[in-house]
Amino acid sequence: MREFVETILAPRLQGDGGWVEWDSLNGNTLTLVFRGECSKCLILDRCVHWMEEELEKKFGQHIVIQPVRKKPFFWDT
Amino acid sequence: MAHVKVVRRSTRPEEWTDLRFSWLERGIVRDREEITDLHIRDARQISENGYDDAPEGERPLVKGDMYFTPDGTVFIRGHATIPPRMHGENVYFSLKTAAEMIVKINGVYVGGVDPNRERFLLNPYIQGDELNIEIEAYNRSKPDDERNPASLSKRGCRQIFEGAYLETIRDNVQSLVYDYILFMDIAHCEYFNEDYRKFLFRELSRALDYVDFETWEGIDEAAAYVDRVIYRNTDFKGSGDVALVGHSHLDIAYYWRRIHAVQKNARTILIQLRLMDRYPEFRYTHTQAYTYETLEKYYPALFEELKEKYAAGQFEPVGAMYVEPDCNIPCAESLVRQFLYGQHFFRRAFGKTLDNAWLPDVFGNSWIMPQILKKSGVDYFVSNKMSTWNDTNRFPHNNFIWRGIDGSEVYACVPPTHFITWNMPSQIQENWEAYQDKETGGQTLSMYGYGDGGSGATEEMLEMIRRFPRVSVMPKTEVTGGADFLHKNLKDNPNLAVWDGELYLEMHRGTFTTKSEIKRMNRYLEGLLRLTEMVSVSRMLQGEAEYPAEEIRDVYKKLLLNQFHDILPGSHIHPVYLDAMADYRDIEARLKALLGDSRVYWNPQNFAFRGVRFVPDESGAFVRHGEKGAFQVTEAAPFDRVCFANGADDTAWFQMETKDGQTFVRTPRLSLQMNAQGAIDHLFMNGDEQDFVKTGRALNQLHLYADHPGVYDAWDILPNYRDVEEKLTLKEALHLTHVDGNCAEFESVFVTDKSEIRMYTRVFREDEAVETEYACKWHEKHRLLKVNFAPNILTRTLRCDTSAGYIDRELTKNTTWQEARFECCHHKWMDMSECGRGLAIINEGKYGVGLEGEEISLSLLRSTIRPDIESDMGEHDFCYQIVPHREDALKAGINARAIMFNTVLSPAPVALPAPLHRMLSQTSLVLQALKLSEDGKRVIVRLSEQNGSRGILKTEEKVEVLNLLEDRQDIQDTIPYHPFEILTLGIPLAQA
């Protein structure tokens, strides 16, 4: 699953200036760190939902993504 | 009396007007029919016009659906019927979106929608009531500097489909909305007369009193009131004369990959074409031959329409160059090729040589440009950023003459305001207020149109233009084209001031350094292209092979594409970096395939050299750039075979002593003392008693600084970057790694908590240069790695290579102009000299140089996180040389040495006809390029005077003197040249 996130999903987000990094998987809760444009995206929840759908399609398992936004200092206001 | 602060809680009259104005827009649509027969399929773009379709295939698209995926493209198709109740009406297609869409109906490109426009007219482009709809749509995130704040809240990878409609509108409401957009903008703008603004608020409110916001009755009465009371009021007068030029800035790559620019460009052009249909007075300027090439290739129908609009005088190609490149880092020959390939495209497509360069967004402009412009048929130059981005000094001119390094002059325009505006009165007034050449420069230039990702003008902008002449407080405005503006106001204008120097941008100083690998590859490939062309000419003249013109041109264009001003400077997202590196690998492989391989080498320069070079060899004891090999003394006459003198194993030439952490080294050329870090505390040329190092300071002193420029992370280095120095721990003190008959190498190793920097310092038996190589595992964040040099040389200038001559940069900090230039661009070398001696630093891919008073620094690595989180992370390997010398840089041959330091030796003979060989090897001019002409009829010889001298070039037979576009200007055998001149000669193949 980590490979899928890092090699399939992450490049998609990068294409829009975003960035996602694997943090941890506990049970069906996947913690992902969102950086770059994702860190301040006003509608990140939509993207997270899409990622959950992609994971379910790939692994047949409902994964709940817990997004952690990591803003750079210049957006951290 | 105590001050009582009044806090108004009721709606002020101005707010009441604002509120009702916002209601007006609700009345624009009179009738709408939802398009319900829509189907969508997801895809991901993988090449300029190639897509990977999602396996799910097509699905219905219904209002409220989520659509688009990250980095996704969608294709929507559908069908609609214009309902009978809309017959005889103007019918619009409407789709509100934050994405970017190209819409085709019944096979015709009918228009585009994006965050800046949601509706376009159908009637002129369709026949009948049945509509077959095809949409290609792209949803690209955009950066913070989006000019349409209303769309920001909807930005993101996934969108909610808000429905597509056929609509009819109330023209009178729409017209009144435009009136209010115009006057409300003035009313809220402090640039305009306060009394007029008060008048506007009062009268705009009175006009709205006529309107019933339920039934939309009273609109005509309100419009009549606005016309009678506001438009016709002449009590208030404005001043100024502003030329309005439609333009859309298109970054080939930035927050999107270059493959996406193909559609961004097509959408932009489509929208402008449709506006031209409706507004015959609309004129639009569009740059970059590459964007026209892609339109011609992938959207031929649009390209044909574009040509029709060009013929009608509405669509204006501007810019002359292949792309809008960075104008600091590319070498002179690259800039020449930007014009050569750009102009040749425009000649082929439009039968026209463009006479202007249009570079609104580039990060400063090299001093070598005016000559290149002039000799490329370009008399006019436009570039915006110096006026609006400078962080310290106000650039003093807007319309002026720019004099280049060789004395060539072009007319220049640095417009007073941004190149992206939405044509509001406030922006036009601001432009006029900021214009500094009111009395000498004629009109001021205001560009209008959305940009960065394309988009361009909107209906609203053009409706504003039609209203401006009726507004008494506005400056006079004229709708014009780019070339017409320049011709009218600058041509033969005797009053223009002259700016003699580079157009330094007091911002974005980090772009000389960010993405080190891109800079290194660009420098390397510029050299490899030169070599390939030269070898190919040689083979052609020897009858060994045809000149691979198409292949070379194709490869060259790929390099030029990657010199775009958000690629080469490093200001882009990670996928753009990956694309650039893939392109570089492809270019290298194709050039090497053309060159072939050999263990015998030839000198591709037109001057002799003798010096130490690294020669790859699996059995070698040294490692340089990851390759095993040995340093050997090499020499060659111009174009001749290179001789390698294998050094003896005798190491007696090298003497070393260590004491108290200091390493004392003596070679036949140098004596130096290095500290444990590898920094050079003392450096003497043997036979000279003067230390080259300032007392108590050092050469080669590494510094790691905190580097927090803020939002413009990849772009900027701040003037206070030296305030916080980070710890660089010495893990391994300087120690000797190997010595042989030619070279002795030392190593010192530095670490941080994340990175490792291995520094190799080399001294040579037969060379006075000290070479330093860094092998870095670089994983920092917001850090800037620099290496400082404190030469014991009294000078107030730093001489910097520009790739076609040198520029003397002031080291003093007496003025704000000098202070602001704390980080500058140079090319292969920089030098500080005093009478009789000097010290040069020559590099192989570094551009940023810090001017720190008595010290200079070379910027090595940055670690920025926006736009690319991973910028510069990973392994790096780069070299430079410290070269102490007698006399000055010119007499010490520093330029030739730096050229050789960057030269890849030729694996194939460079056999030239004897007269050409003699001419080239006897001149002091540098052979910049040797190629087959674009028409395949002559050998092109490009020579560059780089020492600042004047002379005469004599040829044994008469040759053609050409401009940079390879047009014949003269036929001569005696060709005078002046300092820093670039000469282009043509030798007909029969003669060659």
**In the numeric block, which tokens belong to residue B530?**
């030169």
Q: Residue A40's domain is classified under what CATH number?
A: 3.30.300.130
Choose the mutation target among B869, B870, B871 for the interface with A, i.e. most A CBs under 10 Å: B869
Check CB contact under 8 Å for B158 and A11: no
What pLDDT, on the 0 to 100 scale, is given for residue B5? 73
The closest of B168, B180, B172 to B221, measured between CA atoms, is B172
Q: Is residue B296's pLDDT more than 70?
A: yes
Residues of B in contact with A75 (CB under 8 A): 711
Residues of A in contact with B253 (CB under 8 A): none
| Whole-number percent of chain B with pLDDT over 70 | 97
**In the numeric block, which tokens belong to residue B834?**
């005093």
The closest of B961, B880, B35, B862 to B511, measured between CA atoms, is B862
- What SS3 state is found at B89? coil
The closest of B786, B635, B770 to B702, measured between CA atoms, is B786
Angle at B780 between CA B776 and CA B786, to 5 degrees: 65
The closest of B982, B917, B918 to B945, measured between CA atoms, is B982
* Structural domain includes residue A12: yes
The closest of B705, B686, B377 to B513, measured between CA atoms, is B705
What pLDDT, on the 0 to 100 scale, is given for residue B766? 94
Fold agreement (B241-507, B912-992) = no
DSSP state of A52: H
Class of domain B912-992 (CATH, top level) = mainly beta
Question: What is the CATH code of the structural domain delimited by B241-507?
Answer: 3.20.110.10
Domain borders along chain B are 13-22+175-231, 29-169, 241-507, 687-901, 912-992
pLDDT tens sequence across B240-251? 999 999 999 999
Q: Choose the closest CB to B158 out of A9, A19, A46.
A: A46
Task: Spell out which chain B residues touch chain A, with contact meaning CB-CB distance below 8 angstroms.
Answer: 44, 66, 69-72, 139-141, 143, 152-158, 255-257, 573-575, 708, 710-711, 713, 865-867, 869
Q: Do residues B173 and B24 lie in contact, with contact meaning Cβ atoms separated by under 8 Å?
A: yes
Q: Compute the average pLDDT of residues B742-767.
A: 97
- pLDDT category, B599, cuts 50, 70, 90? confident
Report the C-alpha gap between B676 and B674 in whole angstroms.
Answer: 7
Helix B549-561 to helix B516-541 angle, to the nearest 10 degrees?
160
Q: Is residue B632's pLDDT more than 80?
A: yes
2.70.150.10, 3.40.50.300, 2.70.98.30, 3.40.50.620: CATH of B687-901: 2.70.98.30
Check CB contact under 8 Å for B71 and A37: no
**Helix/strand/coil (H/E/C) assignment for every residue in B383-443:** CCHHHHCCCCCCCCCCEEEEECCCCCEEEEECCCCCCCECCCHHHHHHHHHHCCCCCCCCC
Residues of B in contact with A16 (CB under 8 A): 70-71, 139-141, 157, 255
Q: Is residue B177's pLDDT more than 80?
A: yes
Name the residue range of residue A44's domain. Answer: 2-71
The closest of B753, B750, B773, B751 to B762, measured between CA atoms, is B773
**Total of domains in chain A:** 1
* Structural domain includes residue A77: no
* Structural domain includes residue A53: yes
pLDDT tens sequence across B357-412? 999 999 999 999 999 999 999 999 999 999 999 999 999 999 999 999 999 999 99
Q: What is the largest CA-CA distance in chain A?
A: 39
Residues of A in contact with B66 (CB under 8 A): 46, 49-50
Whether residue B569 is preceded by a cis peptide bond, meaning omega within 30 degrees of 0, is no
Quick one: B703 exposed, middle or buried, by C-beta within 10 A (0-12, 13-18, 19+)? middle
B783 beta partners: B706
Residues of A in contact with B867 (CB under 8 A): 17, 36
Given the structure tokens 């490149």, which residue do they identify?
A: B325
ipTM: 0.98
- pLDDT category, B252, cuts 50, 70, 90? very high
Helix B258-278 to helix B459-467 angle, to the nearest 10 degrees?
40
pLDDT tens sequence across B68-125? 999 999 999 999 999 999 999 999 999 998 899 999 999 999 999 998 899 999 999 9
Q: Choose the closest CB to B156 out of A15, A47, A75.
A: A47
* Structural domain includes residue A37: yes
DSSP symbols for B532-565: HHHHHHHHHHTTSS---HHHHHHHHHHHHHTTBT
Report the C-alpha gap between B65 and B498 in whole angstroms.
Answer: 59
Chain Cα centroid distance, residue B218:
52
Chain Cα centroid distance, residue B812:
29
pLDDT tens sequence across B964-992? 999 999 999 999 999 999 999 999 998 88
- What SS3 state is found at B24? helix
Question: Which amino acid is present at B49?
Answer: N
Assign a CATH topology to domain B29-169: Jelly Rolls (2.60.120)
Q: Which long-range contacts (CB under 8 A, 24 or more apart) does B772-776 make?
A: B772/B678, B772/B700, B772/B879, B772/B880, B772/B881, B772/B882, B773/B624, B773/B625, B773/B877, B773/B878, B773/B879, B774/B860, B774/B876, B774/B877, B774/B878, B774/B879, B775/B626, B775/B875, B775/B876, B775/B877, B776/B861, B776/B875, B776/B876, B776/B877
